[in-house]
């Protein structure tokens, strides 16, 4: 579990990961008094849950879910785990953490299971446990491998997309069906909810990106590919004017691209070549200002969502394929995981710096030089003005 290349190693290939909504998970001890609650106790550090393993073979590599905390001093993940839960012969391949603390949904090769949080009392106020809920996901218990699973931002809707091409959308937690779309020809690669829970974008292994209206349960747009494009990931992003943009990654020849779409007219508004490496992970920051891509070569690129200018590039951030990217709630840190068994956190910096261009910096320097010149020659300049 030694640190390597800025990351921490946890002993198994990591397929999925997510930050935890600790405010909805951690509960104060029953012995806490009002005076204790008002004391200046430090807040708990951010935590993330990681899932993966060696699969069904006898490789000796465990299948597990682990929770790890961020060390505020080093801004790196701790080598010590908050909890570890073995998942026997089943590897957690995908996960969705409920935003209101209902638990962690994991997609295994044969179906999905839900693990609920328990906040334990004791000397450690941040003691957590995960307990399997055998009844919550009976409708998804034997549906085969789901390549993508997601809760909506408010947690009231659940969507899953199968390797067999079956799209399923449910109300949460009742699991009443909202929509089903069987498709035996194309597997579901990725899906994402708009922040207002109005739309769901779905990318399949071939064809356009389809957008569903969740209120009418009807498809409202089929976003076409240009010649040679193969769509990958899809993410909605909130903008400063409260509008939304849909970003879709695509491979076209040797280039990895990001395509943007207007979510009113559903027209393509931008297409940007970003990298010559195949894109294996994609994320949008909660504040909508940043995009991040991970590649099969282990590289990370963080971009401005407005200018598409690369703000940060980390070559070989991991030694293997990047499997997951996730921004922290404050959009200041990026969690990444890989098949190389490592997880790392990359610090992004102040959001205000994201909009600072090179021309702005040049202008600041010019103004500073001008001010210095005026101070040094103010008497001479004043004399010239008076005459």
Per-residue pLDDT tens over the stretch 7-36: 899 999 999 999 999 999 987 655 554 555
3-state secondary structure (DSSP) of residue 271: strand
Nearest-CA neighbor of 126 among 23, 36, 50?
23
Q: Give residue 40's pLDDT.
A: 59
- For range 203-215, the mean pLDDT: 96
Q: Give residue 196's pLDDT.
A: 94
Q: Which residue has the higher pLDDT, 243 or 65?
A: 65
Q: Is the per-residue pLDDT at 38 higher than 80?
A: no
Q: Is the per-residue pLDDT at 381 higher than 60?
A: no
Q: Is the per-residue pLDDT at 366 higher than 70?
A: no
Q: Give residue 26's pLDDT.
A: 85
The secondary structure of 225-249 as a DSSP string is PPTTEEEEEEEEEE-TTS-EEEEEE
Q: Is the per-residue pLDDT at 3 higher than 70?
A: no
Q: Give residue 36's pLDDT.
A: 56
Res. 379 pLDDT band, cuts 50 70 90: low
- For range 171-197, the mean pLDDT: 96
Strands (E), 182-295: 188-193, 199-204, 209-213, 218-223, 229-238, 244-252, 255-262, 268-275, 279-284, 290-295
For residue 91, give both structure tokens. Answer: 């590897």
Q: Which residue has the higher pLDDT, 229 or 239?
A: 229
- For range 250-263, the mean pLDDT: 97
Q: Is the per-residue pLDDT at 357 higher than 70?
A: no
Q: Which residue has the higher pLDDT, 2 or 341?
A: 341
Res. 122 pLDDT band, cuts 50 70 90: low
Q: Give residue 270's pLDDT.
A: 96
- Give per-residue pLDDT as tens, 275-311: 999 999 999 999 999 999 999 999 999 999 999 999 9
Q: Give residue 332's pLDDT.
A: 92
Q: Give residue 121's pLDDT.
A: 67
Q: Is the per-residue pLDDT at 353 higher than 50?
A: no
Q: How far apart are CA 244 and CA 196, in angstroms?
A: 10
Res. 262 pLDDT band, cuts 50 70 90: very high
**Chain-centroid distance, C-alpha 95:** 11
Q: Among 67-76, 251-260, 261-270, 318-327, whose mean pLDDT is lowest?
A: 67-76
Task: Tell me the whole-structure pTM to 2 decimals.
Answer: 0.86
Q: Is the per-residue pLDDT at 4 higher than 50?
A: no
Do residues 105 and 81 lie in contact, with contact meaning Cβ atoms separated by under 8 Å? no
Distances in Å between the alpha carbon of 8 and those of 78, 81, 106, 336? 7, 11, 22, 11
Domain residue extents for the chain: 1-144, 359-387
């Amino acid at each position: 579990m030694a640190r390597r290349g800025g990351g921490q190693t946890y002993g198994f290939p990591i397929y999925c990961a997510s930050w935890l909504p600790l405010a909805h998970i951690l509960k104060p001890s029953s012995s806490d008094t009002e005076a204790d609650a008002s004391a200046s106790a430090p807040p708990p550090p951010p935590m993330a849950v990681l899932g993966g393993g060696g699969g069904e073979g006898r490789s000796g590599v465990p299948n597990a879910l682990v929770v790890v905390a961020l060390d505020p001093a080093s801004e790196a993940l701790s080598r010590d785990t908050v909890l570890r839960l073995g998942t026997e012969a089943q590897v957690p391949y995908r996960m969705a953490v409920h935003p209101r603390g209902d638990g962690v949904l994991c997609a295994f090769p044969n179906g999905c299971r839900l693990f609920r949080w328990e906040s334990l009392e004791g000397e450690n106020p941040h003691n957590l446990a995960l307990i399997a809920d055998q009844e919550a996901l009976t409708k998804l218990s034997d549906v085969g491998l789901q390549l993508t699973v997601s809760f909506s931002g408010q947690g009231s809707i659940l969507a899953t997309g199968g390797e067999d091409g079956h799209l399923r959308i449910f109300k949460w937690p009742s699991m009443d069906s909202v929509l089903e779309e069987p498709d035996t020809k194309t597997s579901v690669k990725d899906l994402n909810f708009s922040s207002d829970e109005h739309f769901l974008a779905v990318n399949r292994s071939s064809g356009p990106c389809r957008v569903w209206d969740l209120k009418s349960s009807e498809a409202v747009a089929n976003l076409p590919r240009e010649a040679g494009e193969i769509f990958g990931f899809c993410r909605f992003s909130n903008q400063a004017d409260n509008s939304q943009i849909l970003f879709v990654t695509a491979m076209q020849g040797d280039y990895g691209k990001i395509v943007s779409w207007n979510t009113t007219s559903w027209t393509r508004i931008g297409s940007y070549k970003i990298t010559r490496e195949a894109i294996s992970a994609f994320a949008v920051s909660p504040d909508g200002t940043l995009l991040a891509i991970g590649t099969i070569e282990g590289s990370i690129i963080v971009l401005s969502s407005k200018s598409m200018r690369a703000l940060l590039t980390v070559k070989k951030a991991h030694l293997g394929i990047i499997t997951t990217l996730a921004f922290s709630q404050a959009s200041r840190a990026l969690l990444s995981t890989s098949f190389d068994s490592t997880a790392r956190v990359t610090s992004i910096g102040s959001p205000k710096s994201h909009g600072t261009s090179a021309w702005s910096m040049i202008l600041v320097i010019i103004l500073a030089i001008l001010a210095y010149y005026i101070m040094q020659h103010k008497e001479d300049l004043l004399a010239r003005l008076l005459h």
